[in-house]
Structure 1
């Protein structure tokens, strides 16, 4: 079976005054996810104008693994159960497949470089 890489965008909004807790909760999940062999990288961003908005930008080597394994992982499921305490709503998660890459770009080299960064 061919592995299809996937980019994952996660948008979430902290309840007012809960920004630091949201950051720490997300980083806890991220640290576990970064240990997974199909995880290339995960970047956490915070909106410069509205500090309650957070975005995760993730790249994974295998879309099916992300859907069937990562999304069902105990640490993520635990986070999703607890997030009502500190988030306005459940995170919005979207999956994206690459449709264009720069001619001559070596995706495997890029993945290796990112993992070693």
Structure 2
């Protein structure tokens, strides 16, 4: 009985894994990668950050594998900026995109208006409703 109780959490996790991985082709509506980029600006530097991000995004839009970017500002704290990006290829985003001259220039200039490096996370769309 003790063995069954110890194994139960693993059985539940394995069953959940099977359910989630079963027929993934039909549950995934898009193979695009979603990238969330969270920025924190220096005090009173939000407008400068938004201007620089807008200039950067105009260049990024010309890149291969780019789908879209939405720039968000926290209404309660304008020093919090979020980019919601969609890319066709996560490998491209992590490699070639990161090496582009316009992104490298932004990174160099960002020291003037950002409080530190951004927090970047990649996501896959599971379902759309």
Normalising by the smaller structure, the TM-score range is: 0.7 to 0.9
1:101 aligns with 2:124: no
Q: Distance in 2 between matches of 1:47 and 1:10?
A: 13
What does the per-residue CA deviation read over 1:33-52, in whole Å, with 9 as the maximum and x for residues that have no partner? Answer: 11113111000000000011
1:55 aligns with 2:69: no
What does the per-residue CA deviation read over 1:54-109, in whole Å, with 9 as the maximum and x for residues that have no partner? Answer: 000000001111111111111111111221111111111111122x224xx8xxxx
1:35 aligns with 2:62: yes
Q: Distance in 1 between matches of 2:108 and 2:73?
A: 22
1:13 aligns with 2:40: yes
Q: Distance in 1 between matches of 2:114 and 2:95?
A: 25
Q: Which has the larger radius of gyration?
A: 2
Q: TM-score, normalising length from structure 2?
A: 0.72
Q: TM-score, normalising length from structure 1?
A: 0.79
Gap runs ≥5 in structure 2? 1-30
User: 3-state SS of the aligned residue for 1:89?
Assistant: coil
User: Runs of at least 4 residues of structure 1 off by over 4 A?
Assistant: none
Question: What root-mean-square deviation, in Å, do the aligned CA atoms of Structure 1 and Structure 2 show?
Answer: 1.4
